[in-house]
Structures are given as C-alpha cells and as structure tokens.
C-alpha cells in the first residue's frame, strides 16, 4: 500500500523522473483517515498533505492538497486490473453534476484525477461551509 500511495502522489503531482523528491514530515490520523504531510527534500518547503482511507468495497480513496491549494483524488483497489494510461472518466459526487475528465490509470490498480481543473465542483458547498475566500 505504501508504494501505491507514493505512486499516486507522484501521479497527482504530475511528476517525472527528474522532479524533486519528497520527504515525509509527519504521519497522523484524522477521523479514521490515515494522513501524511510531505515537503520538498531540496527546499524543505511544504509540498502537500495527503489522506487516504478504505471503504468496505476495498476501494481506497486518496485525497491530496498542495501548498497552492490545488487538489486531486486517487482511487485504488488491489483487485483491479485495468490498462494503464490516460482515458476519459465521467464521475459525480452524490446526486451532483456529472463531470468528464482525463484520468491516469497506473500500476493497473489505481487511477488519479487532478481536481483543480474542476472549479465548479465546490460552488455547491459554499452555502453550508461559508465563504471560501
């Protein structure tokens, strides 16, 4: 699972092999989620915070928030066998609006979505959560 999490982290960051390495600053738990904070090993600056949890279906959800407030989602399941590469995916949260985007499937058991391209996703949350600005 640790290798998959780091793989998802690299994918969500859009890294290539020449990118800087991350160093884990802290592991912690929040409301049943495992989480970790990462920094750029070269600069020591905060890179991101990532949390992950498993559902009864054995699907793991990974959420990552970057220092510039971009964010992404990753999904994985050790039993999945999908072709690797980029493909189109339609998704929605609860009964909300449908979105279609490119996702990257990697290691045959996980896929990643860069959510920063989906600004309207959070617009429905403003009434319940107050102002986002």
Query: What pLDDT is stored for residue 23 in this prediction?
Result: 92
Q: What is the pLDDT of residues 91-105, one digit of tens each?
A: 888 888 888 888 888
Q: What is the pLDDT of residues 37-94, one digit of tens each?
A: 999 999 999 999 999 999 888 999 999 888 888 888 899 999 988 888 898 888 888 8
Closest CA to 102 of 84, 90, 119, 92: 90
Closest CA to 114 of 48, 46, 34: 48
pLDDT-derived band at 115 (thresholds 50, 70, 90) equals confident
Give the domain ranges of the chain: 2-118
């Amino acid at each position: 699972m640790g290798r998959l999490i780091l793989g998802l982290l690299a994918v969500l960051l859009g890294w290539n092999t020449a990118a800087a390495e991350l160093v884990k600053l802290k592991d912690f738990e929040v409301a049943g989620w495992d989480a970790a904070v990462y920094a750029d090993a070269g600069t020591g600056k905060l890179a991101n915070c990532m949390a992950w949890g498993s559902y009864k279906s054995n699907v793991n959800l990974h959420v990552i928030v970057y220092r510039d407030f971009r964010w992404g989602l990753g999904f994985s399941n050790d039993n999945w066998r999908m072709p690797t590469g980029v493909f189109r995916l339609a998704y929605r949260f609860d009964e909300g609006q449908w979105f279609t985007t490119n996702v990257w499937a990697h290691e045959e058991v996980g896929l990643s979505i860069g959510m920063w391209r989906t600004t309207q996703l959070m617009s429905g949350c403003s009434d319940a959560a107050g102002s986002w600005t």
